[in-house]
């Protein structure tokens, strides 16, 4: 039987919620400040996953202007009942510094995963990471962690709340019940509730999202508890084993196959060799579960995150080069914009046939209307390339190739203007908030017309390039440390992953535009 190596969804696919409906498996992932909200994949074999349109496509469903870095969509939950897909999600408006968190929880529904998805119903804001449980008696329950601003440290994570949801009235009803306060690991969050053989199973994330992360399981004969801990808790983790291929294992959910097997999806991180930094962000892994005396156990044995799982099909290798054209909107399945939707006039594939036109937005540090569109970095070694036509007349106008984590950590190879040399090429670098211009006053003069821009990352080494003809490439600037584009280097903390794409800024009139001819993503050995 083929061995499938984890992760199944590489690069910035955290907090997986897995679901099976008929022959299809679905996974929903967090997207944080990237728009549209919630990443959605489907598969028929648990090995090959197809990207579906994100459910939250409209500002009326998700308005993230002003959201902080690593705010926005946290830990969605996808479920199915009564002929509908139900999606619960959090839109985080503030999460640091402590003591408060503004975590608004919503519900949308759709007859199909492709949509159309409904307008949202506001549920509560007592905590984050909500899920919806459909009991076999027809009742529905919202499950979420509770945040206690009065406490310190692990005490902020006050336990798991349960409250009934009335789909007719479209609101929560009845009292809130605190059904679980966590295991000794602490920092209890990310709850999912399941029922099997008369037992209610509570699956939660504990230990924080870094190297002490874990999946905790508890069960009860009553939905309101009391819940007893798994005898071998945690079910999945990589705590205390920094030698493992997969780190940060935690935040899990499970589903059954048609023949009665159970698989758990959970997040993991893969550090760059020789570092403790996971530049690809938190990814989605899969493992099979077996049941013994009505308790789940990893089929591999123990509780350490397995590096893979056995499957009935071989994995087909993905193409090593992906060419994106802008003749239609198909590229948007892989790309996301920052906090705001892909819509005219800021973004257009209609104004100039075959090109992506981006009108200049706000600065690289804005939390509102940046004109940035990017895709995930999914490999430790890769090359990204684009070509831009842009004729600025002020140094306040820029366009180019963006490689970023958040507002405090990003690299930008940009075409701009200098009063002495005219149109020019330079490099802007933010490293954990420290800003620098590596070329200083020696920015590169450019002719009018198209400029090709590229970046190559091999492990932690990042080098930018440019070309006037698309074939003869010259390096730009020094070798940069790509590992700063990671959760582990973020200040004070982050939850996303490195993204690479295109951007344009205009602080003069917000109207200057750049035309991008193509985008290429290539896996390097």
Over residues 500-514, the pLDDT tens digits come to 999 999 999 999 999
Helix, strand, coil proportions of the chain in percent (round to 5)?
Answer: 5, 50, 45
Give 294: exposed, middle or buried? Use CB within 10 Å, 0-12, 13-18, 19+: exposed
The pLDDT value recorded for residue 465 is: 98
Confidence of residue 148 (pLDDT cuts 50, 70, 90): very high
The pLDDT value recorded for residue 5 is: 97
Cis peptide before 234 (omega within 30 of 0): yes
Beta bridge partners of 40: 28, 52
The pLDDT value recorded for residue 172 is: 98
Mean pLDDT score of the chain:
97
Location of structure tokens 């940046």 = 370
Confidence of residue 492 (pLDDT cuts 50, 70, 90): confident
Give 517: exposed, middle or buried? Use CB within 10 Å, 0-12, 13-18, 19+: middle
Rounded CA-CA distance 400/372 in Å is: 10
pLDDT surpassing 90 at residue 162: yes
Rounded CA-CA distance 450/472 in Å is: 14
Identify the helix (H) or strand (E) that includes residue 90.
Answer: strand 84-94
Question: Cβ distance 230 to 201 under 8 Å?
Answer: no
> What sign has the CA pseudo-torsion 267, 431, 464, 428?
positive
The pLDDT value recorded for residue 267 is: 98
Long-range contacts, stretch 44-48, CB < 8 angstroms, 24+ apart: 45/311, 45/312, 45/313, 46/4, 46/8, 46/263, 46/286, 46/311, 47/4, 47/8, 47/311, 47/313, 47/315, 48/313, 48/315, 48/316
The pLDDT value recorded for residue 70 is: 98
DSSP three-state, residue 489: helix
pLDDT surpassing 90 at residue 12: yes
The pLDDT value recorded for residue 214 is: 98
With a CB cutoff of 8 Å and minimum separation 6, the contacts of 110 are 55, 84, 85, 87, 116, 117, 118
Confidence of residue 1 (pLDDT cuts 50, 70, 90): confident
Q: What is the CA radius of gyration of the chain?
A: 23
DSSP characters over 405-436: EETTEEEEEEEEEETTTEEEEEEEEEETTEEE
Side-chain-side CA neighbours of 197 within 13 Å: the count stands at 8
The pLDDT value recorded for residue 432 is: 94
* pLDDT tens column, 462-489: 999 999 999 999 999 999 999 999 999 9
* pLDDT tens column, 65-114: 999 999 999 999 999 999 999 999 999 999 999 999 999 999 999 999 99
The pLDDT value recorded for residue 434 is: 96
* pLDDT tens column, 18-57: 999 999 999 999 999 999 999 999 999 999 999 999 999 9
Average pLDDT of the segment spanning 132-138: 97
How distant, in Å, are the alpha carbons of 162, 307, 321, 325, 501 from that of 375? 36, 25, 14, 14, 6
Average pLDDT of the segment spanning 407-425: 98
* pLDDT tens column, 285-324: 999 999 999 999 999 999 999 999 999 999 998 899 999 9
Question: Cβ distance 131 to 144 under 8 Å?
Answer: yes
* pLDDT tens column, 355-400: 999 999 999 999 999 999 999 999 999 999 999 999 999 999 999 9
Instruction: Kindly state the tokens that stand for 21.
Output: 């409906």
Rounded CA-CA distance 429/324 in Å is: 26
Location of structure tokens 């955290």 = 14
* Catalytically active residues, by annotation: 15, 189
The pLDDT value recorded for residue 407 is: 98
Percentage of the residues of the chain whose pLDDT score is greater than 90: 98
Instruction: Kindly state the tokens that stand for 185.
Output: 């690991």
Percentage of the residues of the chain whose pLDDT score is greater than 70: 100
Average pLDDT of the segment spanning 272-281: 95
Question: Cβ distance 396 to 414 under 8 Å?
Answer: no
Instruction: Kindly state the tokens that stand for 254.
Output: 């499970």
Rounded CA-CA distance 283/267 in Å is: 5
């Amino acid at each position: 039987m083929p061995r499938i190596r984890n992760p199944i969804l590489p690069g910035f696919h955290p907090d997986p919620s897995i679901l099976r409906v008929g022959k299809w498996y679905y996974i929903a992932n967090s997207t944080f400040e990237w728009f549209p909200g919630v990443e959605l994949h489907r598969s028929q074999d648990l090995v090959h996953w197809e990207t579906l349109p994100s459910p939250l496509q409209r500002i009326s469903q998700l308005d993230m202007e002003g959201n902080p870095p690593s705010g926005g969509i946290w830990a969605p939950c996808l479920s199915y009942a009564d002929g509908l897909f139900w999606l619960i999600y959090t839109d985080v408006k503030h999460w640091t510094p402590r003591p408060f968190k503004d975590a608004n929880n919503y519900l949308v529904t759709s007859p199909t995963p492709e949509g159309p998805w409904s307008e949202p119903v506001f549920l509560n804001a007592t905590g984050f990471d909500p899920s919806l449980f459909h009991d076999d008696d027809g009742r529905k329950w919202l499950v979420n962690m509770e945040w206690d601003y009065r406490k310190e440290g692990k005490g902020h994570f006050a336990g798991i709340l349960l409250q009934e949801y009335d789909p007719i009235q479209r609101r929560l009803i009845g009292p809130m019940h605190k059904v679980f306060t966590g295991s000794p690991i602490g920092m209890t969050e990310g709850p999912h509730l399941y029922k099997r053989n008369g037992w209610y199973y509570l699956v939660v994330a504990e230990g924080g999202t870094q190297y002490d992360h874990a999946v905790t399981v508890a069960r009860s004969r009553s939905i309101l508890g009391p819940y007893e801990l798994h005898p071998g808790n945690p079910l999945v983790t990589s705590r205390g084993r920094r030698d493992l291929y997969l780190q940060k294992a935690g935040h899990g959910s499970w589903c059954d196959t048609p023949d009665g097997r159970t698989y758990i999806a959970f997040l993991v991180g893969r550090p760059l060799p020789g570092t403790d930094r996971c530049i690809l962000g938190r990814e989605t892994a899969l493992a099979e579960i077996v049941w013994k005396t009505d308790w789940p156990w990893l089929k591999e044995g123990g509780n350490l995150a397995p590096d893979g799982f056995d499957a009935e099909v071989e994995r087909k290798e993905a193409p090593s080069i992906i060419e994106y054209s802008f003749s239609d909107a198909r590229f948007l399945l892989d790309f996301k914009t920052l906090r705001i939707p892909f819509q005219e006039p800021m973004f257009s594939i209609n104004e100039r046939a075959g090109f992506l036109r981006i009108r200049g937005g706000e600065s690289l540090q804005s939390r509102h209307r940046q004109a940035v569109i990017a895709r995930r970095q999914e490999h430790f070694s890769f090359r990204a390339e684009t070509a831009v036509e842009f004729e600025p007349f002020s140094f306040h106008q820029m366009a180019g190739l963006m490689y970023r984590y958040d507002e405090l950590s990003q690299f930008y190879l940009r075409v701009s203007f200098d009063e002495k040399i005219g149109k020019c090429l330079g490099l802007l670098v933010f490293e954990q908030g420290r800003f620098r211009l590596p070329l200083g006053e020696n920015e590169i003069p450019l002719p009018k017309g198209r400029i090709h821009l590229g970046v190559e990352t091999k492990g932690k080494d990042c080098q930018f390039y440019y070309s006037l003809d698309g074939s003869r490439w010259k390096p730009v600037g020094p070798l940069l440390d790509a590992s700063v584009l990671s959760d582990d280097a973020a200040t004070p903390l982050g939850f996303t992953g490195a993204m690479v794409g295109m951007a344009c800024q205009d602080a003069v009139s917000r109207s200057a535009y750049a035309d991008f001819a193509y985008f290429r993503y290539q896996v390097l050995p």
